[in-house]
Structures are given as structure tokens and as C-alpha cells.
Amino acid sequence: MSRQRILSVRNLQVSFRTTAGTVHAVRGVSFDLYRGETVAIVGESGSGKSVTARALMGLEAKNAHIDAGTADFTFTGDDGKETTEDILQMDKKDIRREINGRKVAMVFQDPMTSLNPLMPVGKQIMEGMIWHYHTPKEEAKARALELMNLVGITDAEKRFNNYPHQLSGGMRQRIVIAVALACSPDLLICDEPTTALDVTIQAKILELIRRIQKERNLSVIYITHDLGVVAKVADYVNVMYAGKIIESGTVNDIFYDAKHPYTWGLLSAMPDLETDDDRLYAIPGTPPNLLYPVKGDAFASRNKYALNIDSRLEPPMFRVSDTHYAATWLLHPKAPKIGMPEELAKRVSRLLKDAKRMEEGQMSAEGIATGAMASEISRSEQLRKSKNHVQSAAAEVTSGADHAAETETADAAGDDAPGHPVKEVAV
């Protein structure tokens, strides 16, 4: 059965006008999303994840400007016909009337600030149905109570008239999810919805989102900095750094066969109970100041494996497989052969063994220190995904890889010795 692509983002560029100058926050983001699947956008704070999502909903800040790009969204209109619109070209009023809430909904990071403190939570769930579809109040209330039960709110009748401050953090987040689902959207954007929650509630919220997605065949964009969360929810992963996607692939590609040094750093920063080192790893240095043009590879100054070419020329997206692409000169045929850090490779090896043992039924998830990650990555449905997802989004940028590399020719070959001595990353 062929998959239906519902969102195609190409070359999205967003900048902010500030008193200090223009900040180029998103610098050419491209990705695809298919019906019923989850794409995770991962990266440090300030990498452009939330700016990308808000641009897709027309919620960018007043000083933000979309410099370029398209975002073709396919949805079923009120007339029952399938329609494709470039969201970036739509008028803001049209986006609010036709898209936001109805076809695309967002679950925000902090439910306390995204809910109206002066309105009972039940009425906030009803609001979208009444505004978009003129649903009668009694029908909207019945639907709101149904949604509250769906998201796991006990005593829905009683909680209906509660105000946000009367609910716990986990219950508030469930209310936000109910608000997002009120108009049965096709696309759900989750912007770090579990950051403010403890780990027990976090697991319940993630399971709730996955269950609802499966029941309703929702497409989900999941924004987070937590790779442990990604392992539980994602089908595909886009790793962002300094406003660009620097590695894309299936969840298996990213966790088991990462190629970009920045992705290695993110994976190494995940706590691991089985490591011999009791130190927590942090990626050294800070991201570049996007007030100024980025020359070469934006990650070069923090990369222990940086090549001389990294300071001169931005790497294109090199193809690793049909589903896996990474923007690093380490993948150039003339580059030194450098693999992931030794300690990280050991961790990945442990995860692969644990996942295999779990598939064979030899151990439970509770018996693995990083069991949640291993079990989720090894889901059989991940292995059945077709190979077309990343290929279409990356095809436009990969065509320049060989040309860009050949322009360096002898220089690339001679200068592509590491910019400083290559050492194993201390993890």
C-alpha cells in the first residue's frame, strides 16, 4: 500500500529582524511527512526547531520574516475534495480560519501558559469546535467530555469546570492534547510537550500520543532535544543544528548508524547506566552566532574531527542509504576514515544486542538499562517502512555534492587532513 505524503517542506528560510541585526534562524530546511507517521526534529535549544514548526502554522513572531521556501500541505476540504496548499503563501487570516486547529494543531511545551487561566478547561476544549464548525454548545460539550475521557482525565464531568491552576501538570498537558484534537486535525505538531513533566507522567503522555495517533491515523511532527523521547515516538528523525538539517534518516539509521559528529555528540550526551565512565558528556563549545553569515560547516568549531575544508565550504547532504543522509565532509570519498567514538560504538553495540534479545523474547524491557530506547527502536513496524521518505526531500540538495567536492579536487585531497589532531571523543 503506497503512503500518502501530506506535507512537503522545501528550502524553508526564516530570519528575525532585531536591533543587533538580522538573525538567520532557519537556513534551508527540507523534509517530508506521510500520513500516520511521525517525524522528529531534534537539536539543541536555538537550533531552529520551534521556529520551523511555528512558521508552518503562521505563528511566527512579529519580527520574523519567511525569506524563502514552500510548505505544501495536503488535506481534505469541507467539500470532501483533497486540496494541496502552500501554507507559507496563505494569508494569515486564511490560515487561522482554514488550517490552524482544523487541519493542523499544536501541543505546546508549557500547558500553563498555553491555556487561558480565566476559562474553565472544558470550555477551552469546546472553543475550537464552536469557532470553526459552529457546533451547538450541547453537542460541543458532549464531544469535549468524550475527548477528556479519551486523554485519560478521570471524573471528566467534575474536571470540566475546573480552571487550569486546579489541575496537575500532567492533567493540564492532557487538556492541551484534548484541545488540539477537538477538530480532528490531520497533522499534530508536538513542541516538547513533556519537558516540564516528571518521567512517570512523561511516559504516560508519550504513550497517550502514540495511541491516539494509531487510532486516528494522525501524522505527527515531534520537536524535542531528548533523544530518549525520539526513540519512543519517531519513525524518522531530522537532526538540526544552527538552522539546518544536518542528518536525516529512520530512527534506526540515527541511533545505530549515525554519521555526523554532532549526532554522535547528542547520542553520547544521553545518560547510560552501563557505561564505565561516571561523567556526563557535553558537546564542547557553543553554537555559532547566526547574526553573522556562517562560512563552511557551522559545527566545525566544536568538531574534534573537523577537516580544513570545513572552514571554507559548507558540506552538502551526502547519501548514506536510500533513507539516510548526512551533511559532513567526513563522508567524502577522499576524507579520512573516521568512525563514531569508541565508547558510543560500544553503547550502540549493547543496544543492538538488547534489541535482538528482546525480539527473540529472551528478556523484558525492564531488564535493560536503556530498555525503553532499545525496545522502541526495534519495533517491527520500523523495519517495514519504505525507503522513499528521506530520498525525495534530500534529492534536491544531494545533486550538488559531487560538484561541490570536485571544485576542491586537489585542495580537498591535500587539505582534508584533520584541522587538528584527531582524538577519540571522551564520553
Residues 113, 18 within the same domain: yes
Helix (H, G, I), strand (E, B) or coil at 142: helix
Q: Percentage of the chain with pLDDT > 70?
A: 82
Residues 308, 401 within the same domain: yes
CB atoms near residue 133 (< 10 Å): 15
CATH number for the domain that contains residue 206? 3.40.50.300
Across 383-401, average pLDDT: 45
- Residue 33: strand pairing partners: 7
Residues 218, 259 within the same domain: no
Question: pLDDT tens digit string along 171-215?
Answer: 999 999 999 999 999 999 999 888 777 888 888 888 889 999 999
Which residue shows C-alpha cell 480532528? 184
Across 229-257, average pLDDT: 94
Q: What does the block give as the cell for 215?
A: 487510532
Q: Identify the domain boundary among 193, 224, 255.
A: 224
- Residue 400 pLDDT level (bands cut at 50, 70, 90): very low
Residues 92, 179 within the same domain: yes
Q: Identify the domain boundary among 167, 193, 224.
A: 224
Residue 412 has pLDDT above 70, yes or no: no
Query: Measured between alpha carbons, how far is 287 from 215 in angstroms, rounded to an integer?
Result: 40
Residue 388 has pLDDT above 60, yes or no: no
**What pLDDT sits at residue 325?**
97
Residues 333, 278 within the same domain: yes
Residues 160, 188 within the same domain: yes
Residues 143, 85 within the same domain: yes
- Residue 359 pLDDT level (bands cut at 50, 70, 90): low
C-alpha distance from residue 217 to each of 35, 40, 118, 378, 380 (Å): 7, 17, 33, 21, 18
pTM value is 0.83
Is the residue at 265 inside a domain? Answer: yes
Judge whether 177 and 201 are in contact, CB under 8 Å: no
Residues 209, 349 within the same domain: no
- Residue 357 pLDDT level (bands cut at 50, 70, 90): confident
Is the residue at 231 inside a domain? Answer: no
Within a 13 Å sphere around the CA of 297, how many CA atoms are in the beta-carbon half? 26
Is the residue at 268 inside a domain? Answer: yes
Residues 267, 213 within the same domain: no
Judge whether 262 and 44 are in contact, CB under 8 Å: no
Helix (H, G, I), strand (E, B) or coil at 82: strand
Residues 249, 199 within the same domain: no
CB atoms near residue 187 (< 10 Å): 22
The domain of 313 spans 241-415
CB atoms near residue 198 (< 10 Å): 10
Q: How many domains does the chain have?
A: 2
Residues 275, 411 within the same domain: yes
User: Higher confidence at residue 206 or residue 422?
Assistant: 206
- Residue 157 pLDDT level (bands cut at 50, 70, 90): very high
Strand 244-250 relative to strand 38-42: parallel, antiparallel, unpaired?
unpaired
**Most confident option among 111-120, 275-284, 393-402:** 111-120
Residues 219, 255 within the same domain: no
